[in-house]
Chain A
Amino acid sequence: ETGVTQSPTHLIKTRGQQVTLRCSSQSGHNTVSWYQQALGQGPQFIFQYYREEENGRGNFPPRFSGLQFPNYSSELNVNALELDDSALYLCASSLAKTSNYGYTFGSGTRLTVV
């Protein structure tokens, strides 16, 4: 059973740039969620994708967008990067779009915006 893999592990970008983060979900999982974890904080829900469609969104601006592909892998795109976007971005996959199952998390992508 493969876990959730994220790439890259670390990334440094300049304010105003765009970034794409990638996630391969655990085998058999059809739902992917993205979270932002700022230093010293708990993860904050960005959005969830279920069968290639956005299934829910947290309190993040439209410059945060995503995709899910037929193989259930996913991308998180952030446009017009701001310094406050510096955080650990976590991808989590699950078997269902509802809350019945716990997530399987990846190790995250550490994004630094300078």
Chain B
Amino acid sequence: AQSVTQPDIHITVSEGASLELRCNYSYGATPYLFWYVQSPGQGLQLLLKYFSGDTLVQGIKGFEAEFKRSQSSFNLRKPSVHWSDAAEYFCAVALSGGYQKVTFGTGTKLQVIP
């Protein structure tokens, strides 16, 4: 069965510092890959998605992610974190084709300190 692993439950970074959130997946083939962000008490907002092509994907709010097939990873990065980036981040994968069942990781909670 497919699975998504986000090994970091909590991450704390200083405002202005760079950020990398890790995501590894287990799938039989290259899936569709997503990163979502969830602010407290809110639903999830799509940051970016990867289907095929260029393995470096640009998203909203200055985020980017890199797909590495050899490592089954899809890590999220941002060069300079802002205090408003504090939230929970979810990596998600879905099979290509078929109905749209998306499997989410358990999330990484990001704290930004001044």
Query: Which A residues have a C-beta under 8 Å from some C-beta of B?
Result: 4, 31, 33, 35, 40-45, 48, 50, 55-56, 58, 90, 92, 94, 96-108
Contacts between the two chains (Cβ within 8 Å), count: 76
Contact residue range for chain B?
20 to 34
A46 to chain B, nearest CB (A): 10
Query: Which B residues have a C-beta under 8 Å from some C-beta of A?
Result: 4, 31-32, 34, 36, 41-46, 49, 51, 90, 92, 94-107
Chain A residues within 8 Å of B92, by CB: 42
Chain B residues within 8 Å of A100, by CB: 32, 51
Per the bound structure, the CA–CA distance linking A33 and B99 in Å amounts to 10
Per the bound structure, the CA–CA distance linking A33 and B49 in Å amounts to 18
Chain A residues within 8 Å of B45, by CB: 105
Per the bound structure, the CA–CA distance linking A56 and B41 in Å amounts to 27
